[in-house]
Amino acid sequence: MWTAVAVAALGSVLLAVPAAAEDGVAADCLIATGETAALEGELAAIEQAGACGREVEVIDQRDEFGTVTALPTGELKAEIGVEPIQAQDESGQWAPIDTTLEVAEDGSIRPVNITEDLILSAGGTDPLAAVGYGAEGAFSLSWPGELPVPVLSGPLAVYNEVFAGVD
């Protein structure tokens, strides 16, 4: 067993205090080769990182701003950003932020994977943009006329000729 202490700060942090195994017997590696190394609980992740000789993510410490990883040395590494680096996708799995715009099944335009619920107009009289923040609320921006169908390019939606000669 390992005793660990983690410190939350911006950037990467490494801090751990190894302790002797409770029963004096090293743990067996339970993570198959090639399998994603991620476990719930810092102690379980530290134990398996040491037993398997590779990094193991502490999945219950994952959020939109970072991850915590147990290292084979018994240390914990926290990678924390000042802005979101990942978001839960439609299946509930964490995935990297991807602001590429695409047409959704309902015809609206949405980024592939971000932390907020952003919907852009696919043209017509729908709101230009609507942003939802879960329980915190939502807002939308309207356009006084009919919008053309936008041209999508990565994270950009260009509404050509919203006024004559203006994109």
Write out the two tokens for 79: 């990678």
pLDDT at 164: 80
pLDDT given for residue 162 in this prediction: 85
pLDDT, tens digit, 9 for 90 and up, residues 9-50: 344 444 444 443 444 445 799 888 877 888 999 999 999 999
Does the pLDDT of residue 4 top 80, yes or no? no
The confidence score (pLDDT) of residue 8 equals 38
Which of residues 80, 101, 133 is at a domain's end?
A: 80
Are residues 62 and 120 part of one domain? no
- Check if the beta carbon of residue 156 is closer than 8 Å to that of residue 148: no
Length of the chain: 167
- Residue 80, φ and ψ in degrees, nearest 5: -130, 130
Which residue range is the domain that position 67 belongs to?
Answer: 11-80
In a domain, 105, yes or no: yes
Task: Tell me whether residue 128 is in a domain.
Answer: yes
Q: In this structure, what are the phi and psi dihedrals at residue 23, rounded to the nearest 5 degrees? A: -105, 5
Same domain, 15 and 34: yes
Per-residue model confidence as pLDDT tens digits over 47-101: 999 999 999 999 999 999 999 999 999 999 999 999 999 999 889 889 999 999 9
Give the pLDDT confidence score for residue 165 in this predicted structure. Answer: 78
Quick: pLDDT tens for 106-117: 999 999 999 999
Question: Residue 118: its pLDDT value, please?
Answer: 95
**Shared domain check, 153 and 110:** yes
